[in-house]
Structure 1
Amino acid sequence: MTAVDAPRTGAARHGAAVRPGAWRAMAGNPLRFLISSWPWRALAYLATGPLVAAAWLAAVAVLAAAGVVLTPVVAGVVLLALVPVSAVGYAAVERRRLRWLDPRPAPTPHREPPRPGPRPWLGFRLREAATWRELGYALLSSLLAVVDLAVPFVIIVGSTVSASAPWLVDHGDQLQYGPSVTVDRPPEAWAVAVTAVLLLVAGLYAMTALAAARAALARALLVRAVEEELVEVRASRARMAGAFEAERRRIERDLHDGAQQRLTGLIMTLGLAGLDGADPALIGKGRAEARAALEELRDLVRGIHPSVLTDRGLAAAVASLAERSPVPVEVRADLPARPPESVESAAYFVVAEALANVAKHSGATRARVTLRRAGPALVLEIWDDGAGGADASRGTGLQGLADRVAVHDGSLRLSSPHGGPTIVRVEIPCAS
């Protein structure tokens, strides 16, 4: 069974982003990792982090001191308010530094203020949760700066000194490891040097892992989550679906209350004209054309949204479709509660289009439609015993069905081997 995909949004593409490069590099070939730029990137990331933190702390100290001194005037209050907001700039620098270890986009979590100007901007930033989250990260990062400096220093300096043990011993020096271990002979020095090289290799991995973990922490606290973008996209699509549904109801109401009523009145007028002695042939022709137009309008309204779907629900509407289908259709419905109206409408038109495809293209002698709830999702299955070979790329309407389902964050899957049978399976999340 293959999936028929709708076009992806930018947020969804970001959601499929690869794992951070540092982790992927460490999981690959060890020699390639050691001669690559990743250990150097990790060292640069860890070494510059404390410098950024120190600069931010100095700026915070100046703002806080000036704010306390100027507290009696308005400027002092503003300076104190800038202390937490200063973390916004710190976080912006950290998001740029993320590029050294993590190639994924790092969008800011901040929103645009509703009004321009410094005062609205400051008030808006102080009310944002992202600002205080960034302040917490800045304080935590300042505390972790000691670890960021100590780990590379111990790994690089310790390994370098130990690896040079043979040279130091040859020049009359000795190395002291703890209170009881002294290296002052060449054999011991060479053993220490070999061990130091091995420890350096392990240390480069440890240093890169620490840097990658720090980058992951920064991403978790400072970067707008992909999930948040997807939630916004889903909410936007739901609003669009709701707007389309409201517009559909308006068109249906206008057709029912306007054009259909006018045509009904025309038919009655033509009938009265016939009683007054007008040409019966012309009157009859006019009435026939008016009736045909009225039937077309009724079919159009039914195609926009059948009244049985509104009045009796999805199962009854699908049963009505099955009765009108030229191919015998069995309907199996197990729906303890009605889905939301927009989901119900989408499901109805999926079944209608699928049954139309069965009648036009499949050569089937029978079909079956199954409607059921599976947890939070509405599941539809349309089965037929036709010739199979259905392909969304050949313009059979399946891609359009997939797009309609995708509006509700659903999925459509097709199984149609040559010789049949064909199964279209649709899952649409629904809250009720």
Structure 2
Amino acid sequence: MIRPVAYTGYLVGGVLVGAPLSAGLLTLGTLGAALTPVLVGLPLLGLLALSGIPVGVLERWRVGRLDRPAVRDPGPGDERGHPPVDPHRTPAEPGLGPWARLRFTEQATWRELAYTVLLAFVLWPLDLLVLAVVFGLPGALLAAPAGLALAGDETRVAKLWLVDGYAQASVIAAGGLLLLFALLWPLALYGRARAALARVLLAPRETETRLAEVTESRARLVAAFEAERRRIERDLHDGAQQRLVALSMRLGLARLDAPPELADRLAEAHREADEALGELRELIHGIHPQVLADYGLGDAITDAADRSAVPVDVDVELPRFTEAVESAAYFAVREALANVARHSGAGRAWISAGCASGDRHGRRLWIEVRDDGRGGAVPSGGAAGGIVGMGGTVGTGGSAGRAGSGLTGLADRLAVLDGTLAVDSPPGGPTVLRMEIPC
């Protein structure tokens, strides 16, 4: 149902919001551009880019107020009657910095800015023009009797018709009323189109909503997986390992007082207990190394290089990252080194890592694993998800996994955190794996 009164109020509100908004944007933009050479203008331009966020909140509320009475019981696919939901995601960390980084990378922020600029310089003057046309001429006609009474003997209506009698003025006023009712229909259609434009630009896309849900769900799964990994490591460390240590000590003490016919058997049992304890410690280290939790990714990569069967030179200097990023990067490096040892025939490997920033993806952790092996990646069904070519043959083979799915598993591990794996492995080597993870 078309409701002229509601849409008239909506357009009047657009004028009241847009007029001061245009002045504010012009002032902010002019000051930001003028002060940019002395760096003071950069925060002002950043504030200008984020100005669409409060405008988006206000406009979504106005559209929601406009549509709520229109549909008392909207169907499952009908968005009318409900204000558009906020398209922005909640930052993973508190504070202004994480909030600003997230907002600058969201498409919704730039759509809101586009709508804000459109409202400030195009839409509100258009709204004002429509309101003036719809109410200006009919209003002048309706005021003909009042104008005649004020003028005394005659008056000119809308600067078009000379009126010198109340009968003529009454006819003109009646015509103005009919014209007003006739113009309310196109006004309501225009207002409806304006509200639809606001919904298109300010409401979240269905794909964005689903992507945000998938991203948040994946983050929760990664966090749950890491928590479960830590729990298993803690249970093994505090439970089974302590029992094996106690068993080994008791067997050692028993050997001291054992008769000769039992000493050899106790010694053998003691050796097996020590071997089981060593294997359990290696298993615990593989589940979640303590050096990673205590000292961070840089020292954990160095520790993994020391344990590698192939000599590895390490050039790594990294800050601390979130637990999920450090864990994914560490186990990816472990897997890469294991594949180098198994498949490359390399005599030496090199690991370098750092943190890049400044691109559209924000800060990214990168790790490069290089070996002097024979190279020559063998395709296995084409590039896997997250695997990108760097000039060599790309696939799930190569020195990082010639006969299996080594690269696929490594790429899948990185893809959980939106990371990528780039492979360069020409025949004859060297092979270079470059891993990147947003951080």
Report the TM-score when normalising by structure 2.
Answer: 0.51
1:425 and 1:244 mapped to 2: Cα distance?
A: 25
2:200 and 2:396 mapped to 1: Cα distance?
A: 39
Return the offset for 1:422. 1.0
Flag the 1:387–1:217 CA change in 2: closer, same or farther, 3 A: farther
* Contact residue 91 and residue 222 of structure 1 kept, 8 A: no
1:91 and 1:226 mapped to 2: Cα distance?
A: 22
Matched, 1:351 2:333: yes
Return the offset for 1:331. 0.8
1:345 and 1:416 mapped to 2: Cα distance?
A: 26
Residue 244 of structure 2 corresponds to which residue in structure 1? Answer: 263
Flag the 1:277–1:395 CA change in 2: closer, same or farther, 3 A: same
Secondary structure at 2:291's aligned position in 1? Answer: helix
Return the offset for 1:264. 0.9
Return the offset for 1:253. 0.8
1:270 and 1:84 mapped to 2: Cα distance?
A: 80
- Name the amino acid aligned to 1:57: R
Residue 198 of structure 1 corresponds to which residue in structure 2? Answer: none
* Contact residue 109 and residue 223 of structure 1 kept, 8 A: yes
Question: Which structure exhibits the higher relative contact order, with contacts defined as CA atoms closer than 8 Å and separated by 6 or more residues?
Answer: 1
2:215 and 2:76 mapped to 1: Cα distance?
A: 31
- Name the amino acid aligned to 1:371: A
Residue 253 of structure 2 corresponds to which residue in structure 1? Answer: 272
1:344 and 1:300 mapped to 2: Cα distance?
A: 19
Return the offset for 1:251. 0.7
Flag the 1:245–1:258 CA change in 2: closer, same or farther, 3 A: same
1:412 and 1:215 mapped to 2: Cα distance?
A: 42
Return the offset for 1:292. 1.2
Matches within 5 A, 1:242-321: 242-278=223-259, 279-321=262-304
Secondary structure at 1:365's aligned position in 2? Answer: coil
Residue 3 of structure 2 corresponds to which residue in structure 1? Answer: 57
* Contact residue 95 and residue 222 of structure 1 kept, 8 A: no
Flag the 1:352–1:93 CA change in 2: closer, same or farther, 3 A: closer
2:317 and 2:72 mapped to 1: Cα distance?
A: 56
Return the offset for 1:366. 1.6
Residue 384 of structure 1 corresponds to which residue in structure 2? Answer: 371
Flag the 1:418–1:287 CA change in 2: closer, same or farther, 3 A: same
Residue 322 of structure 1 corresponds to which residue in structure 2? Answer: 305
Return the offset for 1:286. 1.1
2:420 and 2:329 mapped to 1: Cα distance?
A: 12
Matched, 1:408 2:417: yes
* Contact residue 330 and residue 368 of structure 1 kept, 8 A: yes
Flag the 1:256–1:60 CA change in 2: closer, same or farther, 3 A: same
Matches within 5 A, 1:158-237: 219-222=200-203, 224-237=205-218
Return the offset for 1:396. 3.8
Return the offset for 1:276. 3.0
Residue 158 of structure 2 corresponds to which residue in structure 1? Answer: none
Return the offset for 1:332. 0.9
Return the offset for 1:216. 7.3
Matches within 5 A, 1:60-71: none
CA RMSD of aligned residues (A): 4.0
Residue 399 of structure 1 corresponds to which residue in structure 2? Answer: 408
Deviation digits for residues 123-167 of structure 1 (CA, Å, limit 9, x no counterpart): xxxxxxxxxx9xx9xxx9xx99x99xxxxxxxxxxxxxxxxxxxx
Flag the 1:354–1:60 CA change in 2: closer, same or farther, 3 A: same
2:75 and 2:427 mapped to 1: Cα distance?
A: 56
1:379 and 1:87 mapped to 2: Cα distance?
A: 53
* Contact residue 86 and residue 203 of structure 2 kept, 8 A: no
- Name the amino acid aligned to 2:364: A
- Name the amino acid aligned to 2:270: R
Unaligned runs of 5+ in 2: 8-63, 88-111, 116-122, 131-192, 358-362, 378-394, 398-402
Matched, 1:340 2:286: no
Return the offset for 1:227. 3.2
Flag the 1:425–1:89 CA change in 2: closer, same or farther, 3 A: farther
- Name the amino acid aligned to 2:416: V
Unaligned runs of 5+ in 1: 1-54, 62-80, 97-107, 112-132, 148-211
Deviation digits for residues 306-338 of structure 1 (CA, Å, limit 9, x no counterpart): 111122221111112222222221111132x21
* Contact residue 95 and residue 218 of structure 1 kept, 8 A: no
Residues paired across the two proteins, number: 256
2:323 and 2:302 mapped to 1: Cα distance?
A: 18
1:299 and 1:410 mapped to 2: Cα distance?
A: 28
Candidates 300, 314, 334, aligned match of 1:331: 314
Deviation digits for residues 221-255 of structure 1 (CA, Å, limit 9, x no counterpart): 45535334323322222221111111111111110
1:91 and 1:417 mapped to 2: Cα distance?
A: 61
Return the offset for 1:110. 9.3
Flag the 1:223–1:320 CA change in 2: closer, same or farther, 3 A: closer
